[in-house]
Amino acid sequence: MSAAHFNTRQLTLLAGLTLVWGLNWPIMKFGVTHFAPLSFRALSMWLGLPVLWLALRRLGVPLAVARREWRELASLSVTNMIVWHVLAIVSVQALSSGRAAILGYTMPVFSALWGMALFGQRLSGRQLAGVAAAALGVALLLWHELGRMAGKPWAAGGMLVSAALWALGTQQLRRTRITAPTLAIVFWMTLITTLVMTVLSAALEHPRWQAPTPGVWAAIVFNALLIFGFAQPVWLYLARALPPVASTLSVMLIPVLGTLSGAWWLNEQLHWQDFVAIALMLAAIASVLLPARAAANTRSP
């Protein structure tokens, strides 16, 4: 597979996505520490849906999806959003925000494995090195968390399962036969996931329902506007527009930001492994963002 070439618009969206998603990990941790997690996510999604709908109306995006494509839309919703949002929001309550982000962003490694196992995807040497750097960075960042996770294996396992299914969904979205625009697919997947989260929160968390505090409301609004109104649509747009390994490795700065912002805001302790891992994550990003020398030579007159 040749190296991906990001245009200016994609790089701008990628920068905004990385910043918003990276900072959201400690914000989300704060929210679910003081509020039932499924209900936190459901409220965020209900508030974010109108924002997304208004944005798509303003952009003139048609929302119609052919009936023959509903089944595939439902399948994409499960792998891209439902499993991820359910398991991740429950698991982050039991993990530090930084380590939850790190476990979630094992996704690029899983994406490469799914691509090779199911879709015959071949990676260049530089892309393989990027995947290896990302995997090593994740291992280093987990170094001091193994003892803590041993007491709550379900949380670590939940994050890993959600990352693996999210990676599969990224591969499937890239190859979808749905003819509707990507943002229309995003809207319907978000609506389906919102309904699922609402049913689960009502069934499992109804006795814990209470009025959110101002701080929790701030976290909910942040997620509604910037996660479901901006970051989620941008991610799925990039995932469909770019090769899966390129889109997944390009966001490896997110767990780094999640770890550093969690240390600053929530006083989560950092170790030398964190700083070495930052360099490895940057190497993973460079493996897909920097133009390949061979490609540059080919374009030369």
Summarize pLDDT for 121-172 with one digit per residue, the tens: 887 788 788 888 888 877 776 676 666 555 566 788 888 899 999 999 999 9
- At residue 273, does pLDDT exceed 80? no
Rounded to an integer, what distance in angstroms lies between the CA atom of residue 133 and that of residue 229?
A: 31
For residue 2, is it within any domain? no
Rounded average pLDDT over 175-180: 93
- Please give the tally of structural domains in the chain: 1
The 3-state DSSP composition of the chain as helix, strand, coil percent (nearest 5) reads 80, 0, 20
For residue 301, is it within any domain? no
- At residue 295, does pLDDT exceed 50? no
- Of 28 and 301, which is predicted with more confidence? 28
For residue 300, is it within any domain? no
Contact 266, 52 (CB under 8 A): no
For residue 283, is it within any domain? yes
Q: Where are the alpha helices (DSSP H) in the chain?
A: 8-33, 37-59, 70-77, 83-91, 97-104, 107-119, 125-141, 146-150, 153-174, 182-205, 214-222, 232-241, 244-249, 253-266, 272-289, 293-299
Contact 39, 208 (CB under 8 A): yes
Q: What is the pLDDT of residue 11?
A: 85
Contact 174, 239 (CB under 8 A): yes
Q: What is the pLDDT of residues 189-228, one digit of tens each?
A: 999 999 999 999 999 999 999 999 999 999 999 999 999 9
Rounded average pLDDT over 106-129: 84
Instruction: Enter the pTM of the model.
Output: 0.85
For residue 190, is it within any domain? yes
Q: What is the pLDDT of residue 300?
A: 42
Provide the pLDDT confidence category of residue 293 given band limits of 50, 70 and 90. Answer: very low
Assigned token pair, 170: 């990224």
Rounded to an integer, what distance in angstroms lies between the CA atom of residue 199 and that of residue 195?
A: 6
For residue 296, is it within any domain? no
For residue 75, is it within any domain? yes
Chain centroid offset of residue 97 CA: 14
- Of 269 and 50, which is predicted with more confidence? 50
- Residue 159: domain span: 8-290
Rounded to an integer, what distance in angstroms lies between the CA atom of residue 88 and that of residue 258?
A: 14
For residue 298, is it within any domain? no
